A and B are shown apart, each in its own frame.
Chain A
Amino acid sequence: MEFFLQLVITGIMVGSIYALVALGWTLIYKSSGVLNLSMGELTLTGAYVSLTFYQWGLPFPIALLFTLIVGLVLGLVVERVFLRPLIGESVLTVIMVTVGISFFLRGALGFIWGTDTLVFTPPVFPSQPVQIGPIVIGQVYIWSFIAAIVLLLIFVGFFKYTRWGLAMQATADDEMAALSIGISAKFVYAMAWAIAFMAAGVGGALLGNINGVNVSVGHLGLLVLPAVVMGGLNSVPGAIVGGLIVGLLQNFAGGYLDNLTIAGISIIPGGAKEMFPFFAMTIALLFKPYGLFGWQRIERV
């Protein structure tokens, strides 16, 4: 039971980071219909950039702030240069451009920072774990959780109460109607990409604090995709719930399935933790083809 609770708590805490990145992803999809496959590399970029700022001696919150600014600029540039000319192109074309971006970023990141695992030195968060009842949690998880929740709240508040956020919602709902009341679609697309890059950047910085920064952070960023698919592509609450689900699934798979042996025979030698969210997603799609909260599209010829 304690083990179970431990997994639940850790799962929710990691899941909140996924939720943050997934939110950025859904935002792009909702406002501009672009299916972004470069989220893993964006997360990795955030991790490296924040690490570099931190290594320069800036305090972590300031480093995080600078990461946000870098994300904002990168997001605006990428949207303007690569994505805007593609408005109206086929889905596959747009997807493959984001794949091109991800390859380019992966190459560039490897070129600059190499493949060795880099860690935040000195550690940002105290390494002394915290005891809550029977459960032991590293402080890294708690702080990441708090940071992720705060940012999620800021983002959601931004959508609900600010002028720009409302403009984005309007565009997502009905682009033509939004245009006709004077909302600039270009501005909304640019905002969506900037916010997605910022969310991925912060998510990367937090994930990098947990395990150190190397290519595997990019793989974790890829887990955002099962999250958004299970939540339903065009739903902000879905993205958040999906992120939490993926965090939980991953920790359960790691805790219960990895190295599973029954009667002395090793049933699952390893690797379940990385694979299980994708497996669960495939099964879930068979039963709920539009995710938990996605819109069911009725098609006509």
Chain B
Amino acid sequence: MSTMRLPSGTYHENYTQDHAWWQTRFVWIRMIALFAILFIVFPYFAGGYELSVANRIGYTILCALGVQLLIGFAGQVTLGHIAFVAIGAYTSALFTLRVNEATPILKDLGLTYPISVILAMLVAGLWSMLFGLPSARVKGFYLIMTTMAAQFITVDFIITHYISRVGYRGVSFSLPPGTIRFGPWDIRTDLEQYFLMLILVILGILFVGNLMRTRIGRAWIAIRDNDIAAEVLGVNVVRYKLLAFFVAGALAGAAGSYANAVSFTVSPEQFGFGESLWLVGVVLIGGIGSNYGTVFGAIFLTLLTEMVQPTLKFILPDLALKTSYVKDMIFGLAIIVFLLLEPKGLAYRLQRLKDYVHLWPFSY
């Protein structure tokens, strides 16, 4: 990106170079090392527990990408994003189960799950767009309330009282092993889920990152910064807002179908209002308006809450039963402390650190 700070002596001679994601040799080496660690070193050494934590981080990143897109890039605050993840998860699960029963050919080819992912993205995106419709008329807190309404209407009403009752509960929504398949690739173990997660996360980040460099992304940023000014400049505000809701919903749909691949069951309890708030917390702690922020926030908050149980067991074993409450308290405190002391998030802190290293020893 052109905003990237380059070391002296690095010149761009054409646009391809100027638009490249990785512009210097150092960045290339760093990224290749990162990929090597992610794809080879970590899975080689990690046990089941580490992999499951990594999978949870990946799931959080996938969910939070859409939140980041809406809040950080398009400026539409959403407090009900997990509802669209739920829609994705249920679409994917129902489609996979029903189609596998009806057409064994698709099942044998292993195409059902990939198709269900695309379908889940579409359905979740359209559903999200439906709740984005009020954004044409309302904004600010009133819009926040409609996204909250999306949460309660979708999860607490439609999913709990209608969709969960399709067939017999428990039978309808647990995916037997062997249903989650990409062609010949059958996803069963933690390790396979991990690789699927990596692929989805990388695709998701690439997609959002590239989208932000197009006309659409610039329109979103204009709307975020001042939607009336954007309208004056000729941006079709309503259309781009709805598009933002659609894309964010589609990302949530992908996250939902990934959740199926990890847990093999779907239930409304996975998608409570608290989860939606948690995702906003991830984006805020990581840093608004940056894909790094999404990743950092997800890693930081997941590890933080993951550490609660062992620490509590170590310090106060009597309280081990109350872990979930302590987790809530820690999450609440983390948000408050970060917003008070580090309102720009972890991504900004990293940027400052980089600047410091670049300029060392002369800080000017």
Q: B interface, by DSSP: helix, strand, loop or mixed?
A: helix
Residues of B within 8 A of A111 (CB): 322, 325-326, 329
The segment from B54-62, B138-146, B248-256 that touches chain A is B138-146
Which residues of chain B from 79 to 127 have a CB within 8 Å of any chain A CB? Answer: 79
Does A130 sit at the interface, judged by CB under 8 A?
A: no
Which residues of chain A from 59 to 113 have a CB within 8 Å of any chain B CB? Answer: 82, 85-86, 89, 91-93, 95-97, 99-108, 110-111
Does A233 sit at the interface, judged by CB under 8 A?
A: yes
Given A272-B157, A275-B157; A96-B339 close (CB under 8 Å): yes
Does B183 sit at the interface, judged by CB under 8 A?
A: no
Which one of A86, A108, A271, A286 lies within 8 Å of B157 (CB-CB)? A271
Indicate the size class of the contact surface on chain B: 35 or more
Residues of B within 8 A of A175 (CB): none
The segment from A13-21, A189-197, A202-210, A276-284 that touches chain B is A276-284
A contacts with B, residue count (CB < 8 A): 47
Residues of B within 8 A of A289 (CB): 137-138, 142
Q: Which residue of A lies closest to B227 (CB)?
A: A299
Does B201 sit at the interface, judged by CB under 8 A?
A: no
Q: Are B161 and A269 in contact (CB under 8 A)?
A: yes
Given A226-B145, A275-B156, A279-B149; A110-B324 close (CB under 8 Å): yes
Given A104-B329, A225-B148, A269-B162; A99-B335 close (CB under 8 Å): yes
Residues of B within 8 A of A89 (CB): 339, 343
Does B24 sit at the interface, judged by CB under 8 A?
A: no
Which one of A106, A278, A279, A299 lies within 8 Å of B228 (CB-CB)? A299
How many angstroms between the C-alpha atoms of A104 and B281 in the bound complex? 13
Q: Which residue of B lies closest to A29 (CB)?
A: B141
Which one of B277, B281, B340 lies within 8 Å of A85 (CB-CB)? B340
Q: Are B149 and A96 in contact (CB under 8 A)?
A: no
Q: Are A278 and B325 in contact (CB under 8 A)?
A: no
Q: Are A100 and B336 in contact (CB under 8 A)?
A: yes
Given A91-B141, A103-B328, A110-B324; A282-B157 close (CB under 8 Å): no
Can you spell out 13 A-B residue pairs with CB atoms less than 8 angstroms apart? A91-B140, A96-B284, A96-B335, A97-B339, A97-B340, A104-B329, A107-B325, A108-B325, A110-B324, A226-B149, A269-B162, A285-B142, A291-B142
Tell me the B residues contacting A by CB distance below 8 Å: 71, 77, 79, 131, 133-134, 137-138, 140-142, 144-146, 148-149, 152-153, 156-157, 160-162, 165, 226, 228-229, 232, 274, 277, 280-281, 284, 288, 322, 324-336, 339-340, 343
Q: In the complex, given contacts A85-B340, A282-B153, what are 7 additional A-B residue pairs having Cβ atoms less than 8 angstroms apart? A: A96-B339, A107-B327, A107-B332, A229-B141, A272-B157, A278-B149, A289-B137
